[in-house]
A and B are shown apart, each in its own frame.
Chain A
Amino acid sequence: QSALTQPASVSGSPGQSITISCTGTSSDVGGYNYVSWYQQHPGKAPKLMIYDVSNRPSGVSNRFSGSKSGNTASLTISGLQAEDEADYYCSSYTSSSTPVFGGGTKLTVL
């Protein structure tokens, strides 16, 4: 199973909104509403931010939102804050009954 495609980096200024894309195929992103997003700060374990395309776990800020159109899922962060600077990974359930991750996107808050 090939990794999902994410941009290597995105950036934004405090208060702005940014969107990170995650492109797969009809065998993963496009075929199931089981896309998750993770935030990872350096040296730390990943943290679940979004699951099932657009659901937020308890305790995750509503500045984080997810969506999907066709084979591409997106994570939007509004009201960008300094602490949002991190690596972000998408993942999707696949037709192989296993998950696959994206390559990761480094978010820089300018």
Chain B
Amino acid sequence: EVQLVESGGGLVQPGGSLRLSCAASGFTVSSNYMSWVRQAPGKGLEWVSVIYSGGSTYYADSVKGRFTISRDNSKNTLYLQMNSLRAEDTAVYYCARDFVGGLGAFDIWGQGTMVTVSS
């Protein structure tokens, strides 16, 4: 079965760090364009970051310099390292596969993991 399963969310203080994981099954992470998308409580979707199959990475301006996307090919897993967290980073974080090659068509989504930044 093709699926994505996120983990690693939780409560963290402002300025803290957290690493999210996204384990894939049924397809190969390294052969696809993979993104993180977040959704603040009661708000809309916001694209966060992408890693291309070739390894190039891009970030939304709101997280540039603080978040790092990466993958472990041996574990078929995507990661999002989040540093210097702010209250406005509070959201459900989804990982998603972009099946048309980085053009924003996300056909597989995880169930999401909640990140709460609060003191």
Chain B residues within 8 Å of chain A by Cβ, number? 23
Stretch of A16-24, A70-78, A94-102 that contacts chain B: A94-102
A99: B residues at CB distance < 8 A: 35, 47, 98, 103-104
Binary interface profile of A, 60-100, with partner B (CB < 8 Å = 1, else 0)? 00000000000000000000000000000101110011111
Distance A11 CA – B74 CA, assembled complex (angstroms): 48
Indicate whether A51 sits within 8 Å of B100 (C-beta atoms), given known contacts A45-B94, A45-B109, A45-B112: yes
Binary interface profile of A, 96-110, with partner B (CB < 8 Å = 1, else 0)? 111111111000000
Query: How many whole Å from B104's CB to the nearest CB in chain A?
Result: 3
Interface residue B44 (Cβ < 8 Å from any Cβ of A):
yes
Chain A residue at minimum C-beta to C-beta distance from B102: A97
**B45 contacts A34, C-beta separation under 8 Å:** no
Chain A residue at minimum C-beta to C-beta distance from B98: A99
Indicate whether A48 sits within 8 Å of B105 (C-beta atoms), given known contacts A89-B44, A102-B44, A104-B44: yes
**Most chain A beta carbons < 10 A, residue from B98, B104, B107:** B104
Q: Identify the B interface with A (CB < 8 A).
A: 35, 37, 44-47, 50, 58, 60-61, 94, 98, 100, 102-107, 109-112
Q: Identify the A interface with B (CB < 8 A).
A: 1, 3, 32, 34, 36, 38, 40, 45-48, 51-52, 57, 89, 91-93, 96-104
